[in-house]
Amino acid sequence: MSGAINPGSTLGVLGSGQLGRMFAIAARQLGYRVHVYSPEKETPAGAVADREFQGEYDDLDTIREFAGSVDVVTFEFENVPAPTARACEELVPVRPGGSVLHISQNRLREKSTLQSHGLPVTPFVPVHSTEELASAIASAGGRGVLKTASWGYDGKGQIAVKADTDVDVAWTALKTDEGILETFIDFDCELSVVGVRGLDGSFVSYGPLRNEHHNHILDVTSYPSLLPEKVCREAVEITREVLESLDVVGVLCVEFFLTRDQRLLINETAPRPHNSGHLTIDANVTSQFEQQVRAICGLPLGSADSLGPAAMANLLGNLWSHGQPRWVHALSDNEIRLHLYGKADPRPGRKMGHLTCLGTTVEEAISRVRTARKALLPEPP
């Protein structure tokens, strides 16, 4: 493949959390150097990178210094301002491109763009005032989820609303000028597909992965989803169409609701490796992070084949509330793989790491990963 960025080159990552860390580990394994950029220092990704730049995202001088030090830029955090991506694009390729970032940063822009490509999204209405909120709830059939258009993740910036909700209180609580009211979906389950698209247009994918959330945060992901073949094929096909229509080079995850009548609706997209794809490190021939490296470097994509039924359980900061988790107990099941992100401060709700387990069946993998996570906590008295 021509124009490849070969091992030995330097890859730049905007953002320096756990996704950047797992990307950097995969990149270094392939012989690349990695520079990361974020406003923080001593970060999860910085700890395994060759160089950690610290600067605000709107500090374009430091951004240019960072971009000038690498051969290609990618990101692990989609809320990078558009001028930052543009400043990088003036110096080196940014993959996926800044236009993909721009679309995924705003739920209204994201859903409208996907809809304009004929893709199925959760029904939505833009909301800019209490009056618009009242009529939006009525048009959603009396039940919806009010979300900020920008800067929402893991259920932050979301309020469940019903016909009898005080719209003044709800709108004020959202603290935004631009909101989106989505129809409440009484879903059968939540799924995701992690898609990867190479520089030459090649495509591979993982999933559909089945996702269980707790308090709006991903809790457990498992594969296979055990859903009908038709639903699985359609989820992958929609994901391929999303990556193609947005001309993504890199990794993009599509999160779906599966309705009770077996229709797939896109909830949101993330133009980077995704928490639901973490099990690919242990349970697939090539991980989502290695695929991000390969795609942005113009290398052939690796096989996404599954090595067997698998499950992943997130480890949130809450597990530290009684002191150091009991690692020895969790790892006494020798099939359990532990991944920690090197974060010093285990705040409740903060993603500190994850556990993965392969099993003979997906039910077994889920049960073992849950049992291992529970074993981290002290025995009840």
Return contacts of 153-159, CB within 8 angstroms, 24+ apart: 154/216, 154/217, 154/218, 154/349, 155/213, 155/215, 155/216, 155/217, 156/216, 158/216
To the nearest whole angstrom, how small is the minimum distance from the Cβ of residue 161 to ligand AMP?
A: 11
Stretch 268-307 residues interacting with ligand AMP (CB under 6 A): 268
# chain residues binding ligand AMP, by CB under 6 A: 14
The whole-angstrom separation of Cα 214 and Cα 36 is 31
- Per-residue contact flags (x/-) with ligand AMP for residues 143 to 182, judged by CB under 6 A: --x------xx-x--------------------------x
To the nearest whole angstrom, how small is the minimum distance from the Cβ of residue 257 to ligand AMP?
A: 7
Name the segment binding ligand AMP (CB under 6 A); options: 163-171, 183-191, 199-207, 294-302.
183-191
To the nearest whole angstrom, how small is the minimum distance from the Cβ of residue 123 to ligand AMP?
A: 9
- Cα dihedral sign, 59-73-349-181: positive
Specify the 3-state DSSP secondary structure of 379: coil
To the nearest whole angstrom, how small is the minimum distance from the Cβ of residue 13 to ligand AMP?
A: 23
The whole-angstrom separation of Cα 26 and Cα 32 is 9
Task: Kindly give, in sequence order, each residue whose CB lies less than 8 Å from that of residue 62, ignoring residues fewer than 6 positions away.
Answer: 37, 53, 55, 56
Nearest CA-CA partner of 5 in 69, 53, 70: 70
The whole-angstrom separation of Cα 22 and Cα 281 is 9
Specify the 3-state DSSP secondary structure of 186: coil
To the nearest whole angstrom, how small is the minimum distance from the Cβ of residue 357 to ligand AMP?
A: 23
- Per-residue contact flags (x/-) with ligand AMP for residues 195 to 234, judged by CB under 6 A: ------------------x--x------------------
- Per-residue contact flags (x/-) with ligand AMP for residues 311 to 330, judged by CB under 6 A: --------------------
CA angle 40, 41, 46 (to 5 degrees): 110
To the nearest whole angstrom, how small is the minimum distance from the Cβ of residue 153 to ligand AMP?
A: 6
The contact set with ligand AMP (CB under 6 A) reads 122, 145, 152-153, 155, 182, 184-185, 190, 213, 216, 255, 267-268
